[in-house]
Structure 1
Amino acid sequence: MKTGFKLGAAAGGLMALSAFGAAAQDLPDTMVWTSYDVGSAGYAEASAIADAFGKEFGTRVRIQPSGSGIGRLQPLLQGRADYAFLATEAFFVSEGAFDFATPDWGPRALRAVAGRPAGITLIAAGDAGIDTVADARGKRIAFVAGNPSVNVKCEAILAFGGLTLDDVEVITFPTYAAAMSSMTRNESDATCTTPTTSQLYELAESPRGIHYAPLEAENAAGWEGLLKVLPIMGPSDEDVAAGLAEGEIAKMAAYRYPVITTTTEQTADEVYAFIKALDESYDLYKDGTATMSRWSLDISGRPAIDVPFHDGAIRYLKEKGIWTEEDDAWNAKRTERMDALLAAWEEFKPQNDGLSEDEFAEAWMARRAEVVAGLN
């Protein structure tokens, strides 16, 4: 997930020192954000926005990059960072899932400000006979060891076609790069990822070719199955993808990366000022990378997203005429789910303190599944 960055910024340094309109925006003089590592799309986009904040409002932003979800979350939850540019760890920590299914973590209450959509679907070798997701039955699907963010999205996409992991042959590769290149080497038939990953261009040019299994918006049953596994995605039409002819559209799902996330302790006025600045400085950063135009709030300020939107963000989005009654309903349902898991955790943790770490995680994930099932 790497991209170019046109607005130059020093790694982890203080961004954008000029001050042309800070008083009008009511932003703090300085802020700290966390993001993915230097060189990632998340870091490049956070840097471009930080640069714009400095030029437009005089706010200095220090970005703390980290290669792990825990490294991006800890400064935020400890009050040492104001905002975090997160990936799917925002959803996982809100559920206490995977790396966060431990006594030291568990579910945490986070709130979203905005999140840029990123397309994803089941991407198959052209000769694998996988025209639709349902055709993946019995095929070799590439997963990544220790990467639940990639793997759970693939599990959800398989559910779109009525499939579970038992219906396919899961081939686990040690690294993301190895999994993405495995189709070209004929070591797998399909995987799930974003359509501009570099290895997919190699697949498209290889004798096997490339095919995007469609996730059609009108397939209600398919989306119902997908969202039961991962309720943070929605339909997306993608026109930039490896091997996709100019003018063609691929029907995919969209998740959010990066998601600008904060805590419930951040006040509504503070978040309102932040998202207003994000909106008013858009023209300064929208060309920072190839995908930054998707930060327009009519795209990035609407569900579905990893965690509920912050009240301060909703206030501004309503003022702009972007937020709808349907968005309110989504946010209420997502908040109900988070609150139910937080309550379940408070009961579960003291009752299971004597378990080993693995036993504790297994028991909590089972309890989490029960809570979620009870909400549907």
Structure 2
Amino acid sequence: MAAVAVAAAMGMTPSAFAQGLPDSMTWSAYDVGSAGYAEASAIADAFGKKYGTRIRIQPSGSSIGRLQPVLTKRAEIGFLATETFFATEGVHDFSERRWGPQDLRAIAGRPGAFGVFTAGDNGIKQLKDLKGKRVAFVAGNPSVNVKCEAFLSFAGLSRSDVEAVTFPTYGAAMSSVAQGLSDASCTTTTPSQVYELEQSPKGIRWLDVPPDDKEGWARLKAVAPFFQPLRETVGAGISEAKPANILAYRYPIMVVRADMDDNTAYAVIKALDETYGMYKDATKVMPRWKLDVAGTPSIDAPFHPGAIRYLKEKGIWTAEHQQWNDDRMARLTALRGAWAKTLVEGKGKSDEEFGKIWDAQRAMALKAL
């Protein structure tokens, strides 16, 4: 398995122990070549140079592959995407009996962009033009796949209206357009694969998601309620002069278990803040890791108390932010309580029956909030 190890000469930097960081850590992230992997690597490199912390990045192309190491304590932090929301909600892959709502917390997460891209020379100019075309999906990755389905819903389409091509990894799906294996794929605007397509003879085109199309947005939010309209100016084939109307969400999010020690969470977000000047130029979107942006709601999981303590000290955390966090915690607590009831009621039942029980318990829990 590919990995990156980041280290610094201990004699030239303050010790990780003095900072409150572990001497060594493992982080999980998306595939090599993804925006999440590049950003995790840049931040890890800064931690290593300033504090001597040795960080190993463990990449995975699937949501479960990124989250499992965090849950099993083989990784301290996951640089995750929307699987964070799915895991805390107990939906999609995480509605299975072995999962359910997971007790996760966020340290910080920058605003990100997500869109559908095609080759500039293939004649696909609008989302509705995807009907009958090959659209890339990723095996075992609801974080990507649900977003792709949301785009189709915006145009009044579904998977059955396109030729859904499933690739084994996120990286393979992102590369598929350039390789002629698909006609369109869904991703963020800054991975290496989209820049490679932009610089190829094919060129790149991002399909427009008009913010004023109320009916389209209603269909989209029925599939993916965490999205917001975004006029993006950073990315492959995108600039201030050539912006793209696509979608905003949080990615990557630094996600930890709820039982991470408060002082460790505090040390991580403090290090993220204090090393900002060292990693802010690593990619065009790294300035979005400033804590007044990345350390505020809304985000896919409640913020960790240790992170909140530091954000309060910096004057970033407000009463409105705390209310959001309290409400998000209440939702997560209610869902975890509903899951406990489902496990009792569903014992010995088939997977199909178990799923119906969970759907009912989940709906009741949310209605009671």
Q: Does the 8 Å CA contact 1:36/1:65 hold for their aligned counterparts?
A: yes
Could you tell me how far apart the structure 1 residues matched to 2:160 and 2:30 are?
Answer: 36
Contact in 1 for aligned 2:117/2:184 (Cα 8 Å): yes
- In structure 2, how many angstroms separate the alpha carbons of the residues matched to 1:49 and 1:185? 31
Which residue identity is paired with 1:214? Answer: V
Measure, in 1, the Cα distance between the counterparts of 2:188 and 2:87.
22
Q: What amino acid maps onto 2:54 in structure 1?
A: V
Task: Spell out the pairing of 1:296-307 with structure 2 (5 A cutoff).
Answer: 296-307=290-301
Aligned residues of 1:16 and 1:50 also touching (Cα < 8 A): no
TM-score (norm 2): 0.79
Question: Structure 1's 361 and 236: CA in aligned 2 closer, same or farther, altered over 3 A?
Answer: farther
* 2:205 alignment partner AA: I
CA 66–173 in structure 1, closer or farther in 2 if over 3 Å, else same: closer
Q: What residue number does 2:48 align with? A: 54
- Written as runs of structure 1 = structure 2, the 5 A alignment for 1:227-238 is 227-238=221-232
Residue equivalent to 1:157: 151
1:210 is matched with: 205
Unaligned runs of 5+ in 2: none
C-alpha displacement at 1:254, in angstroms?
2.4
Matches within 5 A, 1:125-274: 130-131=125-126, 135=128, 138=131, 140=133, 142-146=135-139, 147-159=141-153, 161=154, 163=156, 165=158, 168-169=161-162, 171-175=164-168, 176=170, 180=174, 190-197=184-191, 198=193, 202=197, 210-216=205-211, 225-244=219-238, 247-274=241-268
Match of 1:34 among 27, 30, 34: 27
> Which residue of 63, 78, 85 maps to 2:79?
85
1:200 Cα deviation (Å)? 7.3
Give the Cα separation in 2 of the matches to 1:141 and 1:364. Answer: 36
- Structure 1 residues 137 and 72, CA, compared in 2 at 3 Å: closer, same or farther? closer
Q: TM-score, normalised by structure 1?
A: 0.77
Aligned to 1:332: 326
Contact kept, 8 Å, 2:24 with 2:55, in 1: the verdict is: yes
Match of 1:309 among 295, 303, 306: 303
Contact 2:85 2:301 in 1 (8 A): yes
What is the correspondence of 1:339-358 to structure 2 with a 5 Å cutoff?
339-357=333-351
Q: Which amino acid aligns with 1:242?
A: A
Deviations 1:233-252 (A, max 9, x none): 33433223333466222122
Aligned residues, how many?
Answer: 362
Query: 1:191 deviation in Å?
Result: 4.0
Distance in 1 (alpha carbons) for counterparts of 2:245 and 2:359: 33
Q: Residues 185 and 128 (structure 1 numbering): CA distance in 2 closer, same or farther, change over 3 Å?
A: farther
Which residue matches 2:314? 320
Task: Report the identity percentage.
Answer: 40
1:114 aligns with 2:104: no
